[in-house]
A and B are shown apart, each in its own frame.
Chain A
Amino acid sequence: MELLLAQSVIEPGLTHFLVVSAILFSLGVMAVLSRRNTIMVLMGVELILNSANINFIAFSRFTELSLDGQMIALFVIIIAAAEAAVALAIVLNVYNRFKTINLDDISLLKG
């Protein structure tokens, strides 16, 4: 066990990257769930997408997946850009109507 731990500290393998991505994912989730500001939430989403991308690229290096993983990551970046554009446009629209971007206050629809 100790040996395994020492080894894994020394050489960054697949697991290391995955652990990083896991923490990043959790931080993204944390941001999404806890920040009132819509833009903060969107930033959290970016973290989640990035964590997935780390996975893809890590797999592309450490498994037979090879370049396919990078390919997917590339598309994910594109998608993230598109999503961010639309999301921010919507945020602006909401801001015009509600005069706030605090998600907490945007809750007319319920029940």
Chain B
Amino acid sequence: MELTTILFYLFSLITLGAAAFMVFSKNIVHSAFALMFALIGVAALYVLLYADFLAATQLLVYVGGILILILFGVMLTSLGYTFNFKTVTVNLAPASLLSATAAVLLIFAFVTTDWKISEIAEPTDTVYDLGMLLMGDYILPFIVAGVLLLIAIIGAILMSTHLSAENREGV
């Protein structure tokens, strides 16, 4: 058994276990931290897939950015009136049925499919290649992604600021 194999199973287990914990946990803060573990697990899986740059990005953006954002969200919306990190579930029966079915179907599809495999060799430096692609073939998506982030930031500010405060300013 090679190391990569062991690592794969390990990280897969971590990822899926954390994700499952996140989904089923009653406490939202616990869920958020479980999500962190899941995301880290995914990053590790990226490494196994030779995507080291992506793994780094995953850690930076997701764990460093999005997760913090989510935690902020949790805090902001759970503070103020009551401290309540507990959350409840709805649609439990249909949701579990549907997601279980989805899982079964997807796994069935993946397992039965005869994939055309053409494995690539372990690349030396994905960062360079990715950078070249980004400035070349993917220049347009790159720029657009920038615009998207700009819009998202302005939109987020727009949505999160209090209007009532402005009203007081007499606008």
Contact = CB atoms under 8 A, between A and B. Distances in A.
Interface residues of A, number: 75
Nearest to B92: A34
A12 B5 contact: yes
Contacts of B156: 85-86, 88-89
A16 B72 CA distance: 35
A1 to B, nearest CB: 12
A36 B87 contact: yes
A61 B76 contact: no
A62 to B, nearest CB: 5
A91 B77 contact: yes
What size tier do the contact residues of chain B reach? 35 or more
A86 B155 contact: yes
Interface of B: 1-2, 4-5, 8-9, 12, 15-16, 19-20, 22-23, 28, 31-32, 35, 38-39, 42, 45-46, 48-51, 53-54, 57-58, 61-62, 65-66, 69-70, 72-74, 76-77, 81, 87-92, 94-96, 98-100, 102-103, 106-107, 110-111, 113, 115-120, 126, 129-130, 133-134, 138, 141, 145, 148-149, 151-153, 155-160, 162
